[in-house]
């Protein structure tokens, strides 16, 4: 099983009390948790391939991602293309009205993280 750690760089994504539909941050400073509901990270790395975006042009989308659509990716390896930044593998374990939380692959291990659905340009689960 691959280790997972709470990465304090992502702590500002989880305001006190859960705010914006995020679950509360992991207890005890994040070491040795499972987060709310006992959701665990995957026991293996994400797939070795990189999916191809379906938007075609690679340009920005004018529409926000629908939380109902991404909820179909719960507990599945999901590739995220953010509006800003580099794409990454994600393993969602929680979908709120405006946010998604789960585990983000760092290239070496999974870290618990969250993202506002408005910051997702495109996603694809496998």
Contacting residues for 48 by C-beta, under 8 A, at least 6 apart: none
- Residue 75: alpha-carbon gap to chain centroid: 10
The residue-averaged pLDDT of 91-114 equals 97
> Would you say 98 and 116 are in contact if contact means Cβ atoms under 8 Å apart?
yes
The rounded distance, in Å, linking the Cα atoms of 37 and 88 is 24
Question: Which pLDDT band, with edges at 50, 70 and 90, does 1 fall under?
Answer: very low
What's the pTM? 0.70
pLDDT at residue 22 greater than cutoff 60: no
pLDDT at residue 111 greater than cutoff 80: yes
- b (16+ CB within 10 A) / e for 83-100: eeeebbbbbbbbbbeebb
Question: 54-89, pLDDT tens digit by residue?
Answer: 865 555 555 668 899 999 999 999 999 999 999 999
The residue-averaged pLDDT of 23-47 equals 67
pLDDT at residue 21 greater than cutoff 90: no
């Amino acid at each position: 099983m691959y280790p997972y750690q709470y990465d304090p760089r992502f702590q500002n994504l989880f305001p006190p009390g859960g705010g914006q539909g995020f679950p509360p941050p992991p207890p005890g400073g994040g070491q040795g948790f499972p987060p709310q509901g006992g959701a665990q990270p995957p026991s293996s790395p994400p797939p070795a391939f990189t999916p191809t975006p379906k938007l075609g042009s690679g340009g920005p989308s004018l529409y926000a991602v629908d939380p109902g659509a991404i909820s179909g990716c719960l507990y599945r390896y999901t590739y995220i293309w953010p509006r800003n930044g580099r794409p990454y593998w994600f393993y969602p374990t929680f979908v709120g009205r405006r946010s998604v939380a789960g585990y983000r692959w760092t290239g070496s291990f999974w870290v618990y993280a969250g993202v506002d659905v408005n910051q997702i340009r495109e996603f694809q689960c496998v």
